[in-house]
A and B are shown apart, each in its own frame.
Chain A
Amino acid sequence: MKILEGIGAGVIQQFAYIGGLSDQFWSGIRALPRVLPVIGRRGRWRDAIRQMTAIGVSALPMIAIMAICSGMILALQGAGELRRFGALRYVIDLVAVGFTRELGPLLTAIVVSGRSGSAFSAEIGTMVVTSEIDALRTMALDPVEFVLAPKYLAAILMVPCLTIMCSVFGILAGAGFMYLSTHMTLGIYIRYVFDSILLRDVFGGLIKSVAFATIIVHVGCMEGFKVRGGPEAVGRSTTSAVVRSTFLVILADLFFTAVFYLARMQ
């Protein structure tokens, strides 16, 4: 009986979590216009600009390094097999399509989750502990609008940009490999890249990146808002934010990949 109760409580808890996320998501969507320049609350867009710097510009070096390393790894692994069939040229397709559809959005999401998702959770968790969130509520200000919305706007703008940059760096790493192994020039390599990827691959990757940005921001902020107790609870929330958002990003990736696959089949 205790086991059943435990399972039931766990399921209810997860449903409550998803319900809370969904509620927060719609509040975030409603609050987004108030962060925009001109039509939004005055000065709120400056917060979004600050967040764009933190989420986007500051993450670029790490994403570039990870993309270059991953591009090289993918090219080396692919070449190992394709060389046996005299199909080394198809390394270009592998790297280009792999990064545009999959690795670009996923690697970017993992980096942003680790850097920014945890930072959102720690920032909001600290605001909860120091009563700043309570202070907002007593001033009749909505914490979702004030704290979450600028981060959300920044993330849905910057994560797709980072995804494009990640794909570009990854594909360029493939160019480096092809030059070293076959002396293929950059011009020819780029022509092959454009032959192998379709516009729908690019759009598919960008749609994924917006969905991943949404997951990272909402999970990170939710874990922060949930903090109760002292500073140790903030530490737990940051870990939870990274673990949960990475897990949900991979689930969402599977969902979108399956949907795009089925769409291509028709």
Chain B
Amino acid sequence: MPTSVISVRDLSVNYDGHQVLDRVNLDIRPNEILVLLGGSGSGKTTMLRHIIGLEAPNAGNILIRGVDINNCSAEVLKQIRRQVGVAFQEAALFNSLSTEENVALPLRELTNLADPVIEIMVYITLAAVGLAESGKLMPHELSGGMKKRAAVARAIALDPGILVFDEPSAGLDPIVSAELDELILFLKQAFQMTIVVVTHEISSAFRIADRIAMLYKGSMIAVEDKESFKASTHPRIRQFLDRVPDKVVETPTVQEHLRELSGMTGVES
């Protein structure tokens, strides 16, 4: 029995010669909330897409419950995917289906449960995320926070052991964002889930995380419990936590540009 639910081993990803992830390693333990932090372009969404098997890496392995998801049969991958629920940044609800139909979708498609049983399960799942009364609403009738809750309900419908969130608080006001954080903590407690959250929201990370991993320009620079992370002296972590902008690059003057032109013998100010 592997001690890690998800293991990322030497994951490297290269898009058109641009190294997005460089030999990244990460172990995610059972029943923990691991927050993957990082600035824009740090590679955290790319890493998430590889963890959930949407893309294949150039090098390295991703093991979910000991199974290498890039070197297994389609049937095994299907079984693994049923154990991983994903709540996307944009919620990704199907607009032609009502909220309850969205939640019922994986149950209808991947199980042989009778319709009345599915209806009860959908109601319980929607109640768990606080949307018991909103099942009949269409996605366009839901607020941003409700959409994210509905996406969570759909992600947990099959009772997966692992739940992955991509930028859960993106586009939400602080109150709704805090409510979503509470929901994530509740899911961990109530369903004993292993939860991975990709975000750049520091306050949210400290509220929900058991451990925090941080990516910087495609490299994993820290995987620590949140107290150690908070106290870290790593310059990039400090810069991120203290919200210090990158040093402003001095732009060359027009004269300096002109001097670099071939055949230019001199430039007067």
A135 touches B109 (CB 8 A): no
Instruction: Kindly state the separation between the CA atoms of A13 and B93 in the bound complex, as whole angstroms.
Output: 33
Binds A, one of B80-88, B195-203, B208-216, B235-243: B80-88
Within the complex, the shortest CB–CB distance from A200 to chain B, in Å, comes to 41
Most buried by A among B77, B82, B86: B86
Whether A43 contacts B110 by the Cβ 8 Å rule is no
For the complex formed, measure the closest distance between the CB of A124 and the CB atoms of chain B, giving whole angstroms.
12
Q: Is A254 an interface residue (CB 8 A)?
A: no
Query: Which of chain B's residues have a CB closer than 8 A to the CB of A132?
Result: 92-94
Q: In the complex, A138→B49 CA distance in Å?
A: 10
Q: Verify B88–A139 contact, CB threshold 8 A.
A: no
Contact A140-B81, Cβ < 8 Å, known A42-B108, A43-B108: yes
- Interchain CB contact under 8 A, B89 and A131: yes
Which residues of chain A come closer than 8 Å to B88, judged between CB atoms?
Answer: 131, 134-135
- Residues of chain A within 8 A of B53, CB atoms compared: 137-138
Q: Does chain A have a CB within 8 A of B78? A: yes
- The answer for the CA separation of A135 and B94 in the assembled complex, in Å, is 9
How many Å lie between the Cα of A75 and that of B110 in the bound state? 56
Give chain A residues whose Cβ lies under 8 Å from the Cβ of B141: none
Contact of A141 among B52, B54, B86, B109 (CB under 8 A): B109
B92 near A140 with CB under 8 A, answer: no
Closest chain A residue to B81 by CB distance?
A: A140
Chain B residues near A131 (CB, 8 Å)?
88-90, 92
Cα–Cα distance between A135 and B52 once the two chains are bound (Å) = 10
Determine whether A41 belongs to the interface, using a CB cutoff of 8 Å to chain B: yes
Most chain-B CB neighbours within 10 Å: which of A43, A131, A137, A139? A139
- A140 CB contact (under 8 Å) in B78, B93, B94, B108: B78
Given A139-B81, A140-B78, are A134 and B110 also a contact pair (CB < 8 Å)?
A: no
A138 vs B90: C-alpha distance when bound (angstroms)? 15
**Is the Cβ of A137 less than 8 Å from the Cβ of B109?**
no
Contacts of A146 in B (CB 8 A): 109
